[in-house]
Amino acid sequence: MPTRTLRLVYPPALLRRPIINQVILDFEVSINILQAQVTLEEGWLEIQISGESREVARAMAWLEEIGIQVFEQSS
């Protein structure tokens, strides 16, 4: 299974929602949190996501759809 490293930038309205948990439950992917910085006003996570390419793409599209910015990091 391919692994991709992503930076997820959260808007303030989503900071208290269990987004990573929802991704794991709704998509057939595994997530490893590498780094994170969260304040009351903003937050970002750097994650490794692995799974079938189609599932990873679906998860990334869903994250963007709900308002999270998704940036692929170079390895």
Given pLDDT bands bounded at 50, 70 and 90, which one contains residue 74? confident
Which of 45, 53, 42, 54 is closest to 21 using CA atoms? 45
Tens digit of each residue's pLDDT (9 = 90 or more) over 11-67 = 999 988 999 999 999 999 999 999 999 988 889 999 999 999 999 999 999 999 999
C-beta pairs of 34-40 under 8 Å, 24+ apart in sequence: 34/5, 38/10, 40/12, 40/15
pLDDT at position 75 over 70: no
Tell me 13's DSSP state. Answer: G
Query: Which is the CATH superfamily of the domain at 3-73?
Result: ACT domain (3.30.70.260)
Better pLDDT: 29 or 2: 29
Q: Give the full edge-to-edge strand order of the sheet including 3-10.
A: 29-38, 43-51, 3-10, 69-73
